[in-house]
Chain A
């Protein structure tokens, strides 16, 4: 109980902190890892280890921590994106593939609906023509849409790949091990860039945003789904209580890893709030930057366009 009080005190009397460090610019070697202060190098290392440890239980933990609501958040992101067949998506920090699979499902259903609509308009098709249209559909069920999942952590990618095999996703899906701050992709290549619950773990957010700008086609969209700040004070207290009392315990019980989930909740507190992130995205060159709060600000979707 004493430990809890100490942690709560630490939370409430959060130091003003080097604002530049909070904005993700390395103000010298000091950076934050949760509530600890570490060097840039240590931070990368620690974060890599966090995800290496939790990779296998990542999905289970997501479900239990958010009571399954994370699925709704990701679905909302997908609806906001509203991709049409032929879209090229880059999902960064997409480790276990949640966004990628939703993208494939969405595009497949859009393609199906388009096909049905087309068939309905051609009422007098011969059997040959109907047969041919289904043939085409078999080779083109995604309509040339593609998603590339990029993550810096090998374990997360492995879990993602296994999930894909297990769920039967193979077409239009690729996996790359890469660093969000230094993407191995050419300029002006992707229609949409998403980073869901990943940008918080990037050490140099400004570099990641610049890379996002670089790899997007002109007209491309940047979408960021991330935990953010709750402004409502009552809700904020409840949220803090839940975060600091329940989540690390769940982490210990389910994944056997208290510290990683302690890092998780601390990193959420350290992450810039909605307006600040919006400013950073604008700094990277994006236009029409906007954000949408989900669940009173527990999660926010930031969107920007490369124009």
Chain B
């Protein structure tokens, strides 16, 4: 599965068509993974400290939130409690009611690969 800096590289290229800055996010990605939040695990269940179900997002926030990479609107997916960017095929988790809008935390939503056409999935 495409992960880490490679993932970010592809996403940023798809978002802006310019050079990617994925490399410097490698450590943050590792830390995000090791702390059990965000990428890979999808919804907030991994880091929830005893809460039965993930807290929903404040509805007024949806007016402002866009994908930090492409600045395009997001779709709120209630089932997995994520904010999904259809174009880039990524999902940002919402943990404890706080949306995690850093690109390193985004998860690939196995729908379709971004335009750059990577063979990994």
A residues 20-61 in Cβ contact with B at 8 Å:
40-42, 44-45, 48
Closest to A151 in B: B98
> Cα distance A176–B26 when bound, in Å?
22
* Cβ–Cβ < 8 Å partners of A200 in chain B: none
Hey, which chain B residues are within 8 Å of A177, CB to CB? 98-102, 105
CB distance from B23 to the nearest CB of A (A): 8
Number of interface residues of B (CB under 8 A): 30
Contact A44–B68 (Cβ < 8 Å): no
Q: Is the CB of B102 within 8 A of A174?
A: no
Q: Nearest Cβ distance between residue B25 and chain A, in whole angstroms?
A: 8
Interface contact tally, CB-CB below 8 A: 73
In chain B, what residue has the closest Cβ to A43?
B24
Q: Which of B61, B95, B105 contacts A148 (CB 8 A)?
A: B61
Q: How far is the CB of A121 from chain B (nearest CB, A)?
A: 32
CB neighbours of A48 from chain B (8 A): 28, 31
Q: In whole angstroms, how far apart are the Cα atoms of A185 and B69 in the complex?
A: 10
| Other-chain residue from B26, B27, B68, B96 in contact with A179 (beta carbon distance below 8 A) | B68
B53 at interface (Cβ–Cβ under 8 A)?
A: no
- Where chain B touches its partner, the secondary structure class is mixed
Minimum CB–CB distance for B66 against chain A, Å? 5
Q: Is B67 close to A, CB under 8 A?
A: yes
Instruction: Return the CB mask of B39-83 against A: 1 if under 8 Å, else 0.
Output: 000000000000000000010110011111101010000000000
Binding site for A on B (CB under 8 A): 23-28, 31, 37, 58, 60-61, 64-69, 71, 73, 92, 95-103, 105
Given A178-B102, A186-B65, A186-B73, 15 extra CB contacts under 8 A? A41-B25, A45-B27, A45-B28, A148-B64, A154-B95, A154-B98, A161-B98, A175-B97, A176-B99, A177-B99, A177-B102, A179-B101, A182-B102, A184-B99, A190-B64
28 examples of A-B residue contacts, CB within 8 angstroms = A41-B26, A44-B24, A45-B27, A148-B61, A152-B102, A157-B98, A158-B96, A161-B96, A161-B97, A174-B58, A174-B60, A175-B97, A176-B65, A176-B99, A177-B98, A177-B101, A178-B68, A178-B102, A179-B101, A182-B103, A184-B65, A184-B66, A184-B68, A184-B92, A185-B66, A186-B64, A186-B71, A186-B73
